[in-house]
Amino acid sequence: MDNMMSLIDWARAQFALTAIYHWLFVPLTLGLGLIMSIMETKYYRSGDTFWKQTAQFWQRLFGINFAMGVATGIILEFEFGTNWSNYSWFVGDIFGAPLAIEGIVAFFMESTFVAVMYFGWEKVSRGFHLASTWLTTLGATISAWWILVANSWMQYPVGCAFNPDTMRNEMVSFLDVALSPFAVDKFCHTVISAWVIGAVFVVAVSSWYLLKKRAAERELALKSMRIGTIVGLIASIGAAITGDESAYKVAEVQPMKLAAMEALYNGGTDQSLTAVAWVNPFRQPDYQNEAEAPLRLAIPNGLSILATRTTHGFVPGVNDLLKGFTREDGTVELSAREKMERGRLAIQALADYRKAKADGADEATLQTLLTTLNENMPFFGYGFIKDEAELVPYIPVNFWAFRIMVGFGTLFILFFAYLLFLNWKQKGIFAPATFNSQLSTFSSTTLWVAIALLPCAYICSESGWLVAEFGRQPWTIQDMLPVSASVSDVGSAAVATTFWLFLVLFTALLAVEINIMLKQIKRGIAPA
C-alpha cells in the first residue's frame, strides 16, 4: 500500500511538473500569434515596411517559444501511456480521439504554415504570407481546442457508455464530446487568458525599450504598446466574463471544486461570495467542525448569483456534499457513503457478470447482473474510494490559487485601462517626439510596473490551472475513475528518477529559452 501511494504521488508530481512547464510556453504562443498577425495585417493594408519589420521581430520571439512548447507537449502526451496506462486503457477510445485530431490536423496545420511564415517573406505574395501567419495562429488555437476538449471530458464525461464486455468506456456521440458546454467555456476562457499573457509580454518588452531609450526601437515600442494595450484590455475583460461562465458550469457539474474554491464548509441559500478569509495554506481545514473560515470578508449573495444565477439560490458546501442533501427542486443528492456503497455494487456486478459469462450463464442471469451494473454505474468510481475524506480536494490550494487568479485578472483590467487612457490623453504620442515627451506620458514607474506584471501574468495563468486540476481530485475522470485506479503498474523509484530528470531537462529548456529571448530582445528590430 505504501508503495502504491508513493507511486501515485510521484506519477502525479511528474505529470504536474510537465504540465506546469508546458503551460509556460503555450499561452505566449497563442497570445503572440494573435498580436503578430494583427501587425502583419497592418503591413498588408498599408505597405509600410515598418510594420513588416515589427511583425518579423515579434515572429522571431514567437518561433523560439513555439519550439519549446512542442518539446514539452510531446512528453506530456507520452506520460498518459507510461504513468497512467490504466486510465488510457479505460477511456482511450474517447480520450485518444481529440488528441489524435489535434496531432493530425491542428499540429500539422500550424507546423506547415509556420515554415511559410518564417521563410516565405520574399518567396510568396504578401497576401499568401499574411494568410500563412493567420493560419499558423489559427492552427495553434485549434490545437488548444482539441487539447481542452480532452481535458474538459475528464472533468465532465459525456457522450460515452461503459461496455462490460471490453471493460472500456466507448464513445457514443462525438459531437457531445467535442461540443460539450464545459469544453466550450474552458476553451474560451483559456485562450482569451492566453491573449492577456501575449499582451502583457508585448507591453513589457516595449516598456523596456522605452526605459533604455533605444532610438531604433522607439516607434516599434510605442506602436506595439498601443496594440498590446488594446488587445490586453479586451482580453482581460473577456477573461472575466468567460471565467464567470466557467464558474457557473463548475457549480453545476463539480460542486465539490466550487466548495473548495470558496472554503465553503456548510452551504445554504443566500450564500455570500468570499473576497478574502484566513485559510491556512499549509493544512487541510477542519471543515467538519468549522462553520466557516475565520476573518472572512464577503459579498452578500454573490456566490448564489455566481452558482445559480439567482440571489437566493442554494449552494452546497463540503459537508453537504459528504452527508447528502436535498436540492430546491426536491432532487435528493446521495451522501458520499451511499455513493461509495453503490460504487462497490457496480464493481461487484461487473465482476459477477464477467464470471457468469465466462461460465456460460443463461441470458436471464446475465441481464439481471447488467441491470444491477447499469443502475449503479454512475457511482462506479466511488467504489474505489476508501475514505470519504479522499473526496475533498486540498482546500488551501484551491482557495488561494483562485484568489490569486481573480486578483491579478482584476489588476490587468485596471492597468490596461490606465495605459489606454494615457494613449488617448496624448494623441500625438505616435508622432516623432523626444524621449522626454514619451516618458512624460509613460512615466518610468508605469514602465517598470508593466515589466513587473509579466511574471504576474504567468502566476495568474498557472493559478487557474491549479484550481482546475487540484479542484477535481481525487478524480482522473470526474465520478468515474480516481487516480488510485488510473496509475500504471510500475515502480515508484522509476517514476521518481524520471521526475528529477525531467525537472533538470525542463529547467534547462526554460533557461535556454529565456536566454535566447533576451538576446533577441536586446538585438531589437534589426533584420534577420
CB 303 within 8 A of CB 272: yes
Q: What are phi and psi of 31, to 5 degrees?
A: -70, -45
Q: What is the pLDDT of residue 431?
A: 43
What does pLDDT average to over the chain? 88
If you write DSSP's letter for every residue of 43-84 in order, what string do you get? HHHH--HHHHHHHHHHHHHHHHHHHHHHHHHHHHHHHHHHT-
Q: What is the mean pLDDT of residues 339-350?
A: 93
The Cα–Cα gap between 243 and 410 comes to 12
Q: Do residues 237 and 268 touch, judged by C-beta distance below 8 A?
A: no
Encoded amino acid at 484, one letter: S
Helix axes 444-470, 181-211, angle to 10 degrees: 160
The pLDDT of residue 422 = 84
Give tens-digit pLDDT for 354-403: 998 888 888 888 899 899 999 999 999 999 999 999 999 999 999 999 99
> What local confidence, expressed as pLDDT, does residue 427 receive?
55
Mean pLDDT of 254-273: 91
Distance CA 368, CA 348 (A): 13
Residue 40 has a pLDDT of: 93
User: What global pTM score does this model have?
Assistant: 0.89
Q: Single out the residue of 4, 5, 7 nearest to residue 494, CA to CA.
A: 7
Answer for the pair 234, 35: CB distance below 8 angstroms, yes or no: no
- Cell numbers linked to 106: 491542428
Kindly indicate the confidence band of residue 99, based on its pLDDT and cuts at 50, 70 and 90. confident
Q: Evaluate whether 474 touches 391 at the Cβ level (below 8 Å).
A: yes
Q: Is 86 exposed, middle or buried (0-12, 13-18, 19+ CB in 10 A)?
A: middle
| Distant-in-sequence, close-in-space partners of 394: CB < 8 Å, separation ≥ 6 | 260, 284, 470, 473
* pLDDT band with cut points at 50, 70 and 90 for residue 429: very low
Model pLDDT for residues 198-226, shown as the tens digit of each residue:
999 999 999 999 888 887 788 888 889 99
357, 388 contact by CB (below 8 A): no
C-alpha cell at 193: 487568458
Q: How many Cα atoms within 13 Å fall on the side-chain side of residue 60?
A: 18
- What CA–CA distance (Å, rounded) separates 433 from 428? 9
**Which candidate, 45, 30, 61, 225, places its Cα nearest to that of 140?**
30
Residue 392: burial class (beta carbons within 10 Å; 0-12, 13-18, 19+): buried
Measured CA to CA, the distance from residue 446 to residue 451 in angstroms comes to 9
Can you tell me the distance from the alpha carbon of 334 to that of 338, in angstroms, rounded to the nearest whole number?
Answer: 6
| Cα separation, 138 vs 517, whole angstroms | 23
Q: Which amino acid appears at position 359 of this protein?
A: D
Say whether 275 sits in a helix, a strand or coil.
strand
Alpha-carbon distance of 113 to 110, in angstroms, equals 5
Q: Please answer whether residues 459 and 400 qualify as being in contact, where contact means their C-beta atoms are separated by less than 8 angstroms.
A: no
Q: Which amino acid is at 258?
A: L
Greatest alpha-carbon pair distance for the chain in Å reads 91
Pick from 162, 167, 169: which is nearest to 374 by CA? 162
Nearest residue to 313 (alpha-carbon basis) of 305, 323, 321: 305
Confidence at 128, pLDDT banded by 50, 70, 90: very high
Residue 473 DSSP class = T
Q: Per the structure block, which three cell numbers stand in for 265?
A: 464548509
Selection from 450, 498, 455, 524 nearest residue 56 by Cα? 524
- Out of 4-8, 173-177, 410-414, which region has the weakest mean confidence (pLDDT)? 4-8
Provide the 8-state DSSP code for 429.
G
CB burial of 478-516 (b: ≥16 within 10 Å; e: otherwise) equals bbbbbbbbbbbeeebeebbebbeebeebbeebeeebeeb
- Per-residue pLDDT of 46-60, as tens digits, reads 888 899 999 999 999
For residue 426, what pLDDT is reported?
A: 63
Contacts of 124 (CB under 8 A, 6+ apart): 116, 132
Q: Which residues pair with 332 in a beta bridge?
A: 326
